[in-house]
């Protein structure tokens, strides 16, 4: 791609399609009585709620420091951290930040360091377990030792005591709404750091999943985040590496993601918006659960049950079938992201289910990425530049997000990034397989981080999904050229005049090399 294809700061990108008309025209939403009207209310109310979450996250992540930072940390309960090790909070925060692409210089991976960081997570509150989950899903960004050491955070969330989930449901649903839930499995389907999920059935026979939030969780998370903010401020005073890693910025990002995930009304809005978008794209092979009208609160979410098993647990498909799954999975996500600016924000193996007839069930929409028109245009330019091995085009695209410090030496950044892109261009056998993709993206993010690169929340989520492609490809098409699949999809989208993406790149811009 020519260097002149970078987005112009003066250009006004075309607007994103409006979601309310898609919600009104959705047949899938209309199939549930009352869901279309409720979906429109969830969509509108979520706009204000997300602004409140952003404001609260910024407030909680602002450290309230005294003159003696260490003393203030101790006064807020940080003694448990120093008991694990004086540098355990720094190592844990650095690893979690690396897990979302904000800090890719891996922390120390000695067994002693890992043991201390794990003790800190086990001794801390629910926010620390969530940090451990970030680390456990960071294949390609962290050493394997870190990922494996925190795998227990994904699998060992203790279930609620018997009767607790039932009492939450009884409190959140009353009268006729409670009577609609005709059956609830006493045994949880899954238990996580945020909530617990049970199978259920409505009185009309609809199979559902009932998700309840753990009691007193919001208060615990807020206290944990305030303590992490103090810890990051102390680390930045004591460790030069912490200052360059912008750990305080990571705590704010972590707070925003966590607070959004705690409000199930926001998840309901993500579900109906995504359902309408996927249907409008004709993505019949990819579904999100539909919430049940009247049975959603801040602490409770009742939604339809979708079949399927994690892609990590299915048998390796035949080569042709596996490559088709890889193509359709990537295309569904890229279409929703680049055409409508919305995407599932946490596509790890547990949230992507494959059915017996090779369809996708996307679950757990507690985190969703949402791009505005300007960000969507920047991302289109970035992906086209990435596919074309154009470092300068990528850097110019990132300016759209305000992700690069105005003091950064752009020429130096381009030079460093081009070295990594050239390594990708001369890949073994001309392919980028699943094991190479995470390493390559990790190197790219490391170059950007060294030069003042700061990714906003939604871009962090998108990059993390790109890294999840590695494990997805490993499960369904381990010999596929992942980058070639992405390039093919981008070319198809740009060649389609109805997509409007070619307009974003300019008429004289070839879409990819």
166-173's contacts with Cβ under 8 Å and 24+ in sequence apart are 168/212, 168/213, 168/215, 168/299, 168/300, 169/210, 169/212, 169/300, 172/212, 172/297, 172/299, 172/300, 173/295, 173/300
Task: Kindly state the percentage of the chain with pLDDT values over 70.
Answer: 81
Report whether 224 contacts 128 (CB < 8 A): yes
Which band of pLDDT confidence, cut at 50, 70 and 90, is reported for residue 75? very low
Q: How many residues does the chain have?
A: 513
Dihedrals φ, ψ of 33, to 5°?
A: -55, 130
Report whether 348 contacts 137 (CB < 8 A): yes
**Average pLDDT of every residue of the chain:** 83
The pTM of this model reads: 0.89
Over residues 83-112, mean pLDDT: 71
CB count in 10 Å sphere of residue 259: 23
- Please identify which residue in the block is written with the tokens 């609620």: 160
Report whether 272 contacts 183 (CB < 8 A): no
Domain ranges (residues) in the chain: 314-361+369-513
Strands 195-202 and 181-184: antiparallel
Identify the CA nearest to 300 among candidates 193, 194, 180, 172.
172
Which band of pLDDT confidence, cut at 50, 70 and 90, is reported for residue 513? very low
Selected residue with higher pLDDT from 482 and 255: 255
Over residues 314-325, mean pLDDT: 93
pLDDT score for 72: 41
The rounded radius of gyration (Å) of the Cα atoms in the chain is: 23
| pLDDT tens profile 148-197 | 999 888 766 789 999 999 999 999 998 899 999 999 999 999 888 899 99
pLDDT score for 512: 43
Over residues 126-152, mean pLDDT: 85
pLDDT score for 343: 95
Mapped onto helix, strand or coil, the DSSP state of residue 309 is strand
Q: Cβ neighbours of residue 382 under 8 Å, at least 6 residues apart?
A: 393, 394, 397, 398
**Measured CA angle at 356 (ends 355, 362), to 5 deg:** 5
């Amino acid at each position: 791609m020519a260097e002149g294809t970078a987005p112009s700061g003066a250009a006004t990108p075309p607007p994103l399609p409006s979601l309310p008309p898609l919600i009104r025209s959705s047949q899938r939403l209309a199939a549930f009585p009352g869901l279309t009207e409720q979906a429109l209310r969830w969509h509108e109310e979520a706009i204000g709620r997300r602004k409140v979450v952003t404001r609260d996250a910024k407030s909680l992540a602002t450290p309230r420091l005294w003159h003696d930072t260490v003393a203030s940390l101790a006064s807020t309960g940080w003694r448990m951290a120093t008991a694990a090790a004086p540098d355990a909070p720094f190592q844990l925060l650095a690893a979690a930040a690396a897990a979302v692409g904000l800090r890719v210089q891996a922390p120390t991976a000695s067994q002693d360091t890992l043991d201390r960081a794990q003790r800190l997570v086990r001794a801390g509150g629910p926010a620390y377990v969530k940090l451990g989950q970030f680390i456990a899903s960071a294949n390609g960004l962290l050493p394997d030792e870190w990922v494996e050491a925190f795998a227990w955070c994904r699998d060992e969330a203790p279930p609620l005591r018997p009767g607790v989930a039932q009492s939450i449901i009884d409190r959140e649903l009353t009268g006729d709404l409670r009577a609609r839930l005709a059956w609830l499995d006493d045994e949880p389907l899954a238990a996580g750091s945020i909530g617990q999920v049970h199978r259920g059935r409505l009185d009309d026979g609809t199979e559902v999943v009932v998700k309840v939030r753990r009691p007193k969780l919001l208060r615990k998370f807020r206290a944990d985040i305030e303590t992490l903010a103090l810890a990051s401020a102390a680390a930045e005073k004591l460790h030069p590496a912490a200052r360059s890693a912008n750990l305080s910025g990571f705590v704010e990002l972590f707070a925003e993601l966590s607070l959004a995930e705690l409000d199930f009304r926001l998840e309901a809005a993500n579900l109906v918006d995504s359902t309408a978008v996927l249907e409008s794209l004709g993505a019949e092979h990819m579904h999100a659960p539909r919430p049940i009208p009247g049975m959603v609160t801040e602490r409770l979410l009742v939604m339809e049950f979708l079949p399927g098993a994690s892609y990590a647990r299915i048998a390796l498909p035949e080569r042709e079938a596996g490559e088709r799954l890889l193509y359709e999975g990537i295309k569904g996500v890229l279409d929703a992201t680049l055409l409508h600016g919305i995407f599932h924000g946490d596509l790890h193996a547990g949230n992507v289910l494959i059915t017996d007839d090779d369809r996708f069930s996307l679950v757990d929409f507690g985190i969703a990425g949402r791009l505005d028109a300007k960000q969507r245009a920047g991302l289109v330019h970035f992906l086209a530049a990435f596919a074309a091995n154009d470092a300068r085009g990528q850097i110019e695209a990132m300016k759209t997000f305000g992700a690069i410090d105005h003091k950064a030496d752009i020429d130096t950044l381009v030079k460093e990034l081009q070295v990594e892109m050239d390594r990708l261009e001369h890949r073994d056998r001309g392919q980028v397989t699943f094991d190479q993709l995470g390493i390559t993206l990790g190197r790219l993010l490391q170059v950007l981080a060294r030069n003042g690169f700061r990714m906003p929340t939604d871009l962090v989520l998108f990059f993390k999904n790109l890294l999840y492609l590695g494990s997805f490809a490993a499960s369904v098409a381990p010999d596929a050229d992942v980058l070639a699949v992405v390039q093919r999809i981008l070319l198809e989208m740009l060649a389609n005049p109805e997509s409007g993406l070619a307009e974003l790149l300019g008429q004289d811009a070839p879409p990819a090399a």
